[in-house]
């Protein structure tokens, strides 16, 4: 019986790796797109990157559904099945947040003031760091789950750093002489970027629970 179980779960593992590759692409396109927008405005490159972000998010969604279908086909123990489904759904919020963030730039074409332009790359970097740790956490869950607990702490520190940066930026925005509508628009943009690290934190917590549950 073992080779049969082996091949089924192996295929789920491979599908998760494919899923994460799509999420990687989504997050990277989003980050590149936003950086391009704040440097050059709404160029063709930005529009292409926005489209790539959307396509990668859709592809990730499709792969996730395929994995769910496979999991419902009894490839795993019920508790592992539930844990994996929960993990994937929580990870799926991350590309969702990235897509939502770049889409605000595409739909609203906001005017980014100079002091905000300087801060956004740093904010993006911290959010990307949080995501790269999620990538590590997924690898840990699939290989050595105990490590997930340490990674969760690191993600928590990135999320806190991103929150502090958000507070400072929003404070600066509302101290400035910009129109109230413009202030609110910039605030919404900053929040939408930071949603990536928020979702990373939620997902890391979920993975930590999976690792803790397997401690006997």
Partner 1 sequence: MWQLISGVFLGWSLGANDASNVFGTAVASRMVKFWTAAVLCSVFVLLGALLQGTGGMHTYKGLSTYGLNFAFIVSLSAAVTVTIMTIWGLPVSTSQAVVGSMVAMGVLRNSIEWGGLTKVVLCWVGTPLGAMLVAILLYFILGEIFNRIDFSLFMYDKVLRIGLIAAGSYGAYALGANNVANVTGPFVASGELSPSMGALIGGLSIGLGILTFSRNVMMTVGAGLVKLNAFSAFVVVLSEAITVHIYAEVGVPVSTSQAVVGAVLGIGIIRGVKTVNTSTLVKIIFGWIGTPAVSFGLTWGITAAVLKLGIL
Any contact of residue 69 with partner 1 (CB under 8 A)?
Answer: no
Q: How many residues bind partner 1 (CB under 8 A)?
A: 28
Q: Which is nearer to partner 1, 141 or 193 (CB)?
A: 141
DSSP 163: H
Rounded to whole angstroms, how far apart are CA atoms 56 and 36? 18
Any contact of residue 141 with partner 1 (CB under 8 A)?
Answer: yes
Closest distance to partner 1 from the beta carbon of 69 (Å):
15
- Sequential DSSP letters for 86-153: HHHHHHHHHHHHHHHHHHHHHHH-PPPPHHHHHHHHHHHHHHHHHHHHHHHHHHHHHH-THHHHHHHH
Rounded to whole angstroms, how far apart are CA atoms 22 and 139? 15
Any contact of residue 145 with partner 1 (CB under 8 A)?
Answer: yes
Any contact of residue 3 with partner 1 (CB under 8 A)?
Answer: no
Closest distance to partner 1 from the beta carbon of 85 (Å):
12
Residues that bind partner 1 (CB under 8 A): 1-2, 5-6, 9-10, 12-13, 74, 76-80, 83-84, 141-147, 210, 213-216
């Amino acid at each position: 019986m073992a080779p049969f179980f082996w091949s089924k779960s192996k295929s789920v593992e491979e599908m998760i790796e494919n899923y994460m590759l799509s999420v990687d692409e989504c997050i990277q396109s989003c980050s590149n797109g936003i950086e391009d927008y704040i440097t050059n405005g709404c160029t063709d490159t930005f529009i292409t990157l926005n489209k790539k972000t959307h396509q990668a998010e859709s592809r990730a969604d499709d792969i996730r559904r395929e994995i769910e279908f496979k999991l419902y086909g009894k490839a795993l123990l019920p508790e592992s099945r539930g844990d994996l489904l929960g993990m994937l759904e929580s990870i799926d919020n991350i590309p969702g947040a990235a897509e939502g963030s770049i889409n605000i730039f595409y739909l609203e074409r906001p005017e980014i003031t100079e002091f905000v332009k300087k801060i956004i790359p740093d904010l993006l970097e911290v959010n990307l760091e949080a995501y790269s740790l999620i990538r590590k956490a997924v690898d840990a869950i699939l290989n050595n789950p105990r490590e997930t607990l340490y990674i969760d702490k690191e993600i928590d520190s990135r999320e806190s750093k991103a929150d502090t940066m958000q507070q400072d930026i929003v404070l600066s925005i509302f101290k400035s002489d910009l129109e109230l509508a413009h202030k609110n628009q910039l605030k919404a943009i900053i929040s939408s970027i930071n949603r990536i690290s928020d979702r990373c934190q939620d997902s890391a917590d979920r993975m930590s629970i999976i690792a803790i549950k397997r401690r006997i």
